[in-house]
């Protein structure tokens, strides 16, 4: 295999650039060529390719976002779109592909693998909702970004004796909100994985208000409901004056943490080398601190579970 392509797809996440750099430089190190595909699967269909030599990936290690840009492609969902993509890759002499993205992006990677194009996935999403890896690229950075914002909210919540409902991203998963809740010492966390009783939550809030707990933080996963909806539902909180904050896309931007840079560098190098030794249809994972490969299908067929220990901690330590 002499020419390997790399693309980023789905929502961007901090550390994607470090992964692109690692794929490109591992190719150079092994005497291979690396090609960057612009705007994910859209660029594959349009043949929007750019050579990634050593210099092309210089100075991007700590940059947020993705230099290759990213998109969610409707055309690639069609057989026709995939056929065009494959022929564009063949015309460009591309013999293998690294896909950096979440579970949706891995569906596309698997389809290409089934069509005979060697493909390896790298999990990159702030949601951390991909089975087969302990962490996805960008998750740690997003936790720290959200944490910084929540700690600021805690300051003003405490000055005004207020209740804050903070809506945190994560799509349909609670990994990001749960980690933020523990790190921020939030009183409550509401995640899609656990049933929610509004009545119960109101009762707890009333009790804590009676116990003279002046301010309270609820970390709410966006997959449950919006923070405004929750504020409307929390009718009787015993007197707390409630405010709502939606952290939104702030959580997706910024320079990656050292953890994400190192994780992305390891995953990028491992993915490129796996392709070079003939592996395909697999995703890279970090399991118990070691690089692993597992079937791409795991990303969407297996549910990754929240840590019961962390869930208990929020309850115990609030
Ligand atoms: O998957 C990453 C993510 O940021 C989710 O947490 C969020 O629900 C979604 O993407 C937002 O997508 P968009 O950028 O298309 O609004």
pLDDT, tens digit, 9 for 90 and up, residues 267-295: 999 999 999 999 999 999 999 999 999 99
- Low-confidence residues of the chain, pLDDT below 50? none
Q: What is the pLDDT of residue 189?
A: 98
**In angstroms, what is the span from residue 278 Cα to ligand 1's centroid?**
33
- State the pTM of this model: 0.97
Please state the atom number of ligand 1 nearest to the C-alpha of residue 251.
4
Strand order in the sheet with 119-123: 49-51, 33-37, 3-8, 96-101, 119-123, 282-287, 290-295
Distances in whole angstroms, Cα of residue 173 to Cα of each of 92, 176, 234, 252: 38, 8, 22, 16
DSSP 8-state class, residue 57:
G
Indicate the helix (H) or strand (E) that contains 220. Answer: strand 216-221
Q: What is the pLDDT of residue 72?
A: 85
Pocket residue to mutate for ligand 1, from 103, 171, 220, 300, most atoms within 8 A of Cβ = 171
Q: What is the pLDDT of residue 17?
A: 98
Strand order in the sheet with 188-190: 188-190, 216-221, 162-168, 241-246
Residue closest via CA to ligand 1's atom 15 equals 11
Cα 58 from chain centre: 24
Q: Which residues contact 21 (CB under 8 A, 6 or more apart)?
A: 57, 60, 61, 265, 268
- Domains by residue range for the chain, with CATH: 3-138+256-301 (3.40.50.450), 140-253 (3.40.50.460)
pLDDT, tens digit, 9 for 90 and up, residues 116-135: 999 999 999 999 999 999 99
Task: Enumerate residues lining ligand 1, CB below 6 A.
Answer: 11, 102, 125-127, 169-171, 222, 252
DSSP 8-state class, residue 291:
E
Q: What is the pLDDT of residue 214?
A: 87
Question: Measured between alpha carbons, how far is 312 from 310 in angstroms, rounded to an integer?
Answer: 5
**In angstroms, what is the span from residue 25 Cα to ligand 1's centroid?**
29
Query: For this structure, is 236 an active site residue?
Result: no
Please state the atom number of ligand 1 nearest to the C-alpha of residue 249.
4
């Amino acid at each position: 295999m002499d020419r390997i392509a790399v693309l980023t797809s789905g929502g961007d996440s901090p550390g994607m650039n470090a992964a692109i750099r690692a794929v490109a430089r591992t190719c150079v190190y092994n005497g291979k060529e690396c090609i960057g595909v612009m705007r994910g699967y859209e660029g594959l269909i349009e043949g929007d390719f750019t050579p990634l030599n050593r210099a092309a990936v210089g100075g991007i290690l700590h940059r947020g976002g993705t230099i290759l840009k990213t998109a969610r492609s409707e055309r690639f969902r069609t057989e026709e779109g995939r056929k065009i993509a494959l022929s564009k890759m063949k015309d460009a002499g591309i013999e293998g592909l690294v896909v950096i993205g979440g579970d949706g992006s891995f569906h596309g990677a698997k389809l290409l693998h089934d069509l005979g194009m060697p493909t390896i996935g790298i999990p990159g999403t702030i949601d951390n909702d991909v089975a087969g890896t302990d962490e996805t690229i960008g998750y740690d950075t997003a936790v720290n970004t959200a944490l910084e914002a929540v700690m600021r909210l805690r300051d003003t919540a405490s000055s005004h004796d207020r209740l804050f409902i903070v809506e945190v991203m994560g799509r349909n998963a609670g990994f990001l909100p749960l980690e933020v809740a523990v790190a921020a010492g939030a009183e409550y966390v509401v995640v899609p994985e656990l049933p929610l009783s509004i009545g119960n939550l109101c009762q707890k809030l009333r009790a804590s208000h009676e116990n003279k707990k002046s301010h309270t933080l609820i970390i709410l996963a966006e997959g449950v409901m919006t923070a405004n909806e929750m504020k409307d539902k929390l009718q009787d909180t015993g007197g707390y004056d409630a405010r709502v904050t939606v952290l939104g896309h702030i959580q997706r931007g910024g320079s990656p943490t050292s953890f994400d840079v190192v994780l992305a560098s390891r995953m990028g190098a491992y993915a490129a080398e796996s392709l070079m030794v003939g592996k395909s249809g697999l995703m890279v994972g970090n399991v118990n601190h070691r690089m692993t490969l597992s079937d791409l299908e795991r990303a969407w067929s297996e549910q990754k579970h929240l840590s019961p220990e962390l869930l208990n901690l929020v309850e115990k330590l609030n």
